[in-house]
Amino acid sequence: MIKIDWVRIGFLATASVVAFSVGKASAEEVTVTINDVKVEDTVYTPYYEIQTEQDHQQGSAQKWIRLGVYFTTEGGWIDEIDITQLAVIKGDKAEKDITLSEKVHYINIEPGDHYVYVYLHPSYVKRYEIDAFDLDSAAFIAVDGKVVATKETSKDSPKGWSLDRSNQRKGYLLNHAETPFWFVNYDFKEIIKTEK
pLDDT tens for residues 115-131?
A: 999 999 999 888 888 88
For the segment 31-59, the average pLDDT, to the nearest whole number, is 76
CATH topology of domain 31-46+61-192: Immunoglobulin-like (2.60.40)
Higher pLDDT: 28 or 1? It is 28
For the segment 141-168, the average pLDDT, to the nearest whole number, is 89
Residues in the chain: 196
pLDDT at 70: 97
Give the pTM: 0.76
Cα separation of 174 and 179, whole Å?
7
For residue 68, give every residue at least 6 positions away whose Cβ sits within 8 Å of its Cβ, in sequence order, or none: 36, 37, 38, 39, 40, 115, 116, 117
Dump pLDDT digits (tens) for 80-123. Answer: 999 999 999 877 666 778 899 999 999 999 999 999 999 999 99
pLDDT at 95: 74
Q: Is the confidence at residue 26, as pLDDT, over 60?
A: no
pLDDT at 84: 97
